[in-house]
Chain A
Amino acid sequence: MEKIEARDVNFYYGNFHALKGISMDIPRNNVVAFIGPSGCGKSTFLRLFNRMNDLIPEARLEGSIMIDGQDIYGPDVQVDELRKNVGMVFQRPNPFPKSIFDNIAYGLRVNGIKDREYIRHRVEESLRGAALWDEVKDKLNASAYALSGGQQQRLCIARAMAVSPSVLLMDEPASALDPISTAKVEELICELRKEVTIVIVTHNMQQASRVSDKTAFFYMGEMVEYDDTKVIFTNPRKEATQNYITGRFG
């Protein structure tokens, strides 16, 4: 069984048909990159994996999305539980207006964990996992806003990882970061793949080719091609994919 299985997914914003018949298998502990021009549906598809589109008025989903064999749109699924299992990191770092420590501890406390020693342990473990511990260990009570943009983004990754998800969704996680911070986030992605399955939306072709095992190219709501990243970037099967990744998309 694959980690994520999407079957014939169609998604509508009112009358607008945003995703058209997409089926995809995402293997466990893989990094899968979604690429494509703006408005092609890649972020919409990503956000379906933790039901982030549920509250959009007149939005409608057809088809099924299974994680670990369970239909995440099934009637017995608790969205809170789903999002604990499927973490998300956004384009711009969005730390809470709290201390560094409390940012990481927030998810644990919301999930009812009160054991202070366990929380302290998980905060350190998560910050170490996000390669941020050495930079913040002496100022855990400082505001998260005091961190640089790159540090804030790694804090958000640590926050998402604190509740031990098995899937991490990343929507252009490095697009607002400088090259050094971007490199740190990419290194982090490569480390985190040992623990979680990662789906990342990116406009950066080199980033997709560097960090992902598989890549999907989307265009106008359709998934044009999905294959091993090496194949997509050396010998794509579809001309549209080749035109896009070589910058000839017109």
Chain B
Amino acid sequence: MVKFIESELMQLRSEVYQMWTLVYNQMDQARLAVLGLDKDIAQQVIVRERRVDAYELKIDSDVEDFIALYTPVAVDLRFVLAMLKINNDLERIGDYADGIARFVRDSEGSVLDRSLVERLQLNEMFEGVLDMMRDLQQSLIDENPVKATSVMDKDDTLDRIKAASTGILVDYASSHTDAIALCMGLAGVFRKLERTGDHLTNIAEEIVFFIDAKVLKHTSADTGRQSSADGHVTGN
């Protein structure tokens, strides 16, 4: 019995890591595609999106099987629930990478204004997302809730860059009327990256839930309260 449980959980964990790596590469490739307006790279990202979807279906199915066959409790139950939710978040992040690639594929320009890219901090936005993904995967591997929680702070940087990008793009579009469509597309890229940060925050919460059985969702920032898995709300 124990062997079966351990083996199934290892398999599920391995699948999530593989999907994680795939989605990370998708986002990294989407970054290269945008910065170089490279339609070939964009096309590769779009094609590989099907693999992300396939992973999502496989992990969903494996989690369902595990719950049905092994009726997990305690840490095992928290683990499979966390994997199910992380799977969903990774799939959405994969969708955003795909959406960014589609913008590149469908854009009419062939090069981005370097100074605009720098003012927008587009590369920094991508790097922030990729940093969060790397750190969160490591926190899951190490089962380190402190590291997972610390990643959540980085989401603020993404929010700040995204908030600033709107004004910069409006200014640029008003003085470069031929680049209005491009600016709208870039605004979409920032929105997707900002949403990716939100999904990564969710993933951090799921990792903490799995390891510590603490529910960080909807935590009141001013009171610092958190909920435990048994539904009790505790003060810090």
Contact = CB atoms under 8 A, between A and B. Distances in A.
A208 B152 CA distance: 38
Given A242-B75, A246-B73, 5 more contacts: A230-B231, A234-B78, A235-B229, A247-B5, A248-B5
B182 interface: no
Contacts of B74: 233-236, 242, 245-246
Interface residues of B, number: 16
Contacts of B73: 205, 209, 233-234, 245-246
B174 interface: no
Q: Is the interface of A mostly helix, strand, loop or mixed?
A: helix
B187 interface: no
Contacts of A234: 73-74, 77-78, 213, 229-230
A38 to B, nearest CB: 16
Contacts of A235: 74, 78, 213, 228-230
B1 interface: yes
A234 B230 CA distance: 7
Interface of B: 1-2, 5, 71-78, 213, 228-231
Contacts of B229: 234-235
Interface in A219-233: 228, 230-231, 233
Q: Report, as a range, how many residues of chain A touch the other chain.
A: 10 to 19
14 contacts: A206-B71, A228-B230, A230-B230, A230-B231, A234-B74, A235-B74, A235-B213, A236-B74, A242-B74, A242-B75, A246-B72, A246-B74, A248-B2, A250-B2
Interface in A188-231: 205-206, 209, 228, 230-231
Contacts of A228: 230
A246 B5 contact: yes
Given A206-B71, A234-B213, A246 B76 contact: yes
Contacts of B213: 234-235
Contacts of A205: 71, 73
A165 to B, nearest CB: 31
Contacts of B5: 246-248
Nearest to A230: B230
Given A234-B213, A235-B213, A246 B75 contact: yes
Nearest to B228: A235
Q: Which 3 A-B pairs have the closest CB atoms?
A: A235-B213, A235-B229, A233-B73
B155 to A, nearest CB: 27
Interface string A123-165: 0000000000000000000000000000000000000000000
Nearest to B76: A246
Contacts of A245: 73-74
A248 B1 CA distance: 8
A231 B230 contact: yes
A247 B1 contact: yes
Nearest to A231: B230
A235 to B, nearest CB: 4
A247 B5 CA distance: 8
Contact of A247 (B2, B230, B231): B2
A230 B76 CA distance: 15
A230 B73 CA distance: 10
